[in-house]
Chain A
C-alpha cells in the first residue's frame, strides 16, 4: 500500500481511529508520518488554548484576506463569525472553510436528500451500508476487512485508492 500523503513510498504507518462514531484511516510512509507528527504537535501546543477561535480549527492566526468574489465575505470574517456570506463562499474560500467543515462535521460529503425530493441516490445508500459494515468490522477488530471496506467507500466517493 502506498503512502496516503506522498503517494510514492510504501506506507509503514497505519492507523484507524474512531472518534464520535466517525472512522478515519491513515496509511503513511516513515517520512510523511514524521512530518505529520511534527505538524500535529505544533497545533497541540499550549498556545492553542489561548489564541481564540481561529485555532479552535487549527488554522493560522495571521490575517487572512482571501475574499469571496461573489459576496465579498473575507476568510477572516468567516473565521470570526463562523458564518459564510453566500453559497459561493464554500468554493471561493474552500481553503479556509473546508477544514472547518471537516472538523465540525467529521465528513465532507452529503449523502441525504436532494431538492427534487428524492432521497439519497443508490450510491449514497450503498455508501451507508458500507459505513455500517465498517463500524462492525472495527468493533470486532477485523482491521483487514475494515481496510477493504474503507477502500470501497473511497472509490464510491471518487477518491483514489492508491
Chain B
C-alpha cells in the first residue's frame, strides 16, 4: 500500500491562520500598521531556520507567479501589492503569508503522506512566532480569524491527491458526498471546479472549531485513506477494462512528452497524468519520483519562463517547455 500511496498522495499541507492581537484584521487595518507585521514575524523566526522575505510590491510578476505555482503563496496574497509579504524557508517547505485574509498564515508542505510531520514542523514555527508576537486568541473561540470558517484551531490540513481512476470512472462525486459527511471537502488543484486538469485534487478539513489539531489530522488521514483505497480499486478495474488500448494511450503520451517540439501547459498536464499512471502500472520505469513531481511544478508557465532565463512569448515558451520536459523525463524514466 505504501508504494501505491506514494503514487496517489503527492503532498501534505498544514496551514494555521493567526492574527496579531490588538490590530483590526487585514481588510480593516491601516497600511502603516500592516507594514510592520512582516518585519516582526521575520524577526521572530531568526535563528530558527534561514528565511527569505518576499514583499509583493517588490517582486516581479513572474517571480510572484513562480511562488504561486509552487503553492508557496496564494493569488490573494499576490494581489495585495501594498502590504502583502511572504517569508519562506530555504528548502521551501515552510512559507508564512503576511497580510492575506489573516495577518499571518503559516503553512508547511511536505512531499507524500506526511500530515503529522508537516504539523510538527509548522507547530514549531507557530510557537517561535508566538514567543515574540501576541496572537488574537479567546478561550472560547480559540484563534480569532477574519472569517468564522477558520476559528478555533485556524487549521486546514490537506493532501494533494492524484486521482485518475476515480476521475475517469466519474466516481469523484460519490467521494465528495462521502467525505462531506466527515466535514471534509475536495477540489481540483489545477483548473476550475471539480474538473481538475491532470486529475490532481486537494482533500481538506472544513471544520476548525471544536476539534483539536490531532482530531483534524486523524480525520483527514482517514478520509484520504478511504479515497486512496477507492482510487486503487478504480485503477485495477481501469487496467482490466482498458487493456491494450489504455497501455497504448499511456505509451503515446510518453512518446509525445519525450519527443514533442512544442507543448502547452494544459497538454503537458494531461499527458503527465497518463505517464504517471503508466509508472504506477509498471509500463514506464520511474527512477526518481521527487524529480517527476518537481517537473510538474517546473513546467508551469511562470516556472518555465523563469527557468529559461529569457523573455519568451507564448510559442517560444511552449518550445522551451517541450525541450525541458523531454530532457528531464529521459533522465528519470525508461520503458
Contact = CB atoms under 8 A, between A and B. Distances in A.
B182 interface: yes
A106 B207 contact: yes
Contact of B148 (A87, A100, A119): A100
B147 interface: yes
B190 interface: no
A112 B130 contact: no
Contacts of A104: 148-149
Interface residues of A, number: 35
Interface in B206-223: 207-215
Contact of A109 (B24, B137, B209): B209
Interface in B16-45: 19, 21, 23-25, 27-28
Contacts of B181: 20-21
B27 A105 contact: no
Given A104-B148, A110-B209, A128-B212, A73 B153 contact: no
A115 B135 contact: yes
Nearest to B24: A86
Contacts, number: 122
Contact of A112 (B23, B147, B152): B152
Given A84-B148, A105-B149, A109-B210, A71 B141 contact: no
A24 to B, nearest CB: 12
Could you say which of A72, A87, A119, A128 has the most chain B C-beta atoms within 10 Å of its C-beta? A87
A54 B211 CA distance: 26
Contact of B130 (A22, A111, A117): A117
Contacts of B24: 70-71, 85-86
B182 A21 contact: yes
B228 to A, nearest CB: 20
Interface in A100-144: 100-101, 104-117, 119-120, 124, 128
B209 A107 contact: yes
A43 interface: no
A83 interface: yes
Given A20-B181, A115-B137, A119-B212, A105 B130 contact: no
B304 interface: no
A90 B210 contact: no
The 9 closest A-B pairs by CB, nearest first: A107-B210, A110-B142, A112-B153, A86-B24, A87-B136, A105-B209, A87-B144, A117-B127, A85-B28
Interface of A: 20-22, 70-73, 82-87, 90, 97, 100-101, 104-117, 119-120, 124, 128
27 contacts: A20-B181, A20-B183, A21-B183, A82-B147, A82-B148, A82-B149, A83-B27, A83-B146, A84-B148, A86-B24, A87-B136, A90-B141, A100-B148, A101-B151, A105-B148, A105-B209, A105-B210, A107-B207, A108-B141, A109-B210, A110-B142, A113-B212, A113-B213, A115-B135, A117-B126, A119-B212, A128-B215
